[in-house]
Amino acid sequence: MSFTERMLKIDRRIIFLVIGVCTLVPLLYPVGLPIRISQEVRGVYDHIESLPEGSPFLLSLDFDPASKPELHPQSISLLRHAFKKNLRVIALTLWVSGTGMADQVVTQVAREMGKENGKDYVFLGWSPGGTAVIINMGQDLYGAFPADYNGKPTKGLPVLQGINSLRDVSYAVSLGAGRPGVEEWYVFGKDKYKFEMGGGCTGVMAPGLYPLLRSGQINGLIGGLRGAAEYETLMDQKGKAIAGMDAQSATHLAIIVLVIMCNLFYFSSRNRARSQGQAGA
């Protein structure tokens, strides 16, 4: 077996080791390269900035622990921004397996920003039905969620004063890791109940949401860890996303180098096989 053939059949554990080192080293020794802000992320940030104090802001944390590394930093940044602007935060999740995590992030950021449950924010929790929950909230918010996550009746909560349905929400952001997520919030929510909307998603999902973005159906998109890092940069708060960008940079570069190498070996081995074939003929 020639060198190129041996390299094409390289033990995958070597590749695992390369990726492991490329992830670990930048986390231990961060470089902190500058992060350029995209128009997609700026769209969400600018809209929240433009909202007057006390505006109802709905945040749907539609993800589970599998997407935590990408969407958790996004939710922290968005919540910090909303609380900093003194918006009334209405949080919920459409993913049952994400309920505990969503409750933790909302409570943690609210405590950090000195906000009061029921007055400045509410976590509605999870309700079965998926997209039906969105329609139900659009029809009657109190029908969809008669009580918040802690069992307190939603009717009469100061944070929900003047809000009867999704029509009364100033801005909604869905941080989605799949279905139901950003697309469902647009189709079943914004399209009918006419509220402004932005989105956040995992890196692999982002390209699929660009048609919604370009047509103005959503006014901004925070895509993956990069999007979260951009939001942290805009907020001037270094968090887990910025810390993870160096590791992501190194792993992307490692994969690119691996792909180029494998193509070089592939062409070299193909050319050799051809020349051997011609010599044989």
Partner 1 sequence: MIFLRRQVPLLITLITGLVFAGQYYVPHPASEQMLTSVTKWLQIIGGFALVLGVSSLFHVHAIKIRRKEAGWGYSFVLYVGMLGTIVAGMWSNGKEAVDGAMTAFGWVYNFMMVPLQSTMFAILAFFIASAAYRSFRARSREAAVLLIAAVIVMMGRVPLGEYLIPLSGDLSQWILNVLNASVRRAILIGVSLGTVALSIKIIFGKERSYLGGGKE
Binding site for partner 1 (CB under 8 A): 10, 12, 15-16, 18-20, 23, 33-36, 38, 64-69, 96-97, 100-101, 103-104, 127-130, 132-133, 135-136, 139-140, 143-144, 192, 203, 206-208, 210-211, 213-215, 224, 226, 245-246, 248-256, 258-263, 266-267
Minimum CB separation of residue 108 from partner 1 in Å reads: 11
| Closest approach of partner 1 to the CB of residue 144, in Å | 7
Provide the minimum distance between the beta carbon of 54 and partner 1 in the complex, in angstroms, as a whole number: 27
Cα–Cα nearest to 61, from 47, 85, 83, 77? 77
CB of 136 to partner 1, least distance (A): 4
User: Strands 221-223 and 88-93, how do they pair?
Assistant: unpaired
CA distance 179 to 123: 21
Instruction: Note whether 92 and 128 are within 8 A (CB).
Output: no
As measured in angstroms, the least distance from the Cβ of 243 to partner 1 is: 12
Sign of the C-alpha dihedral computed for residues 176, 104, 42 and 190 taken in this order: positive
Minimum distance from CB of 84 to partner 1 (Å)?
24
Closest CA to 57 of 150, 151, 166: 166
3-class secondary structure, 92: strand
Cβ proximity to partner 1: between 253 and 273 the closer is: 253
Nearer to partner 1, 88 or 232 (CB): 232
**Nearest to partner 1 of 56, 244 (CB atom):** 244
Q: How far is the CB of 126 from partner 1 (least distance, A)?
A: 10
- CA 171 – CA 276 distance, rounded (Å): 66
Cβ pair 213, 182 in contact under 8 A: no
Nearer to partner 1, 96 or 273 (CB): 96
Find out whether 172 and 185 touch, Cβ atoms under 8 Å: yes
Collapsing DSSP to helix, strand or coil, 121 comes out as strand
- Which CB sits closer to partner 1, 124 or 245? 245
Residue 55 CA to residue 132 CA, distance in Å, equals 25
Structure-token match 């051809």, residue found: 274
Nearer residue to partner 1 within complex by CB, 3 or 266: 266
Chain centroid to CA 62: 9
Residue 84 or 274: which CB sits closer to partner 1?
Answer: 274
Asked if 80 contacts 235 with a C-beta cutoff of 8 angstroms, the reply is yes
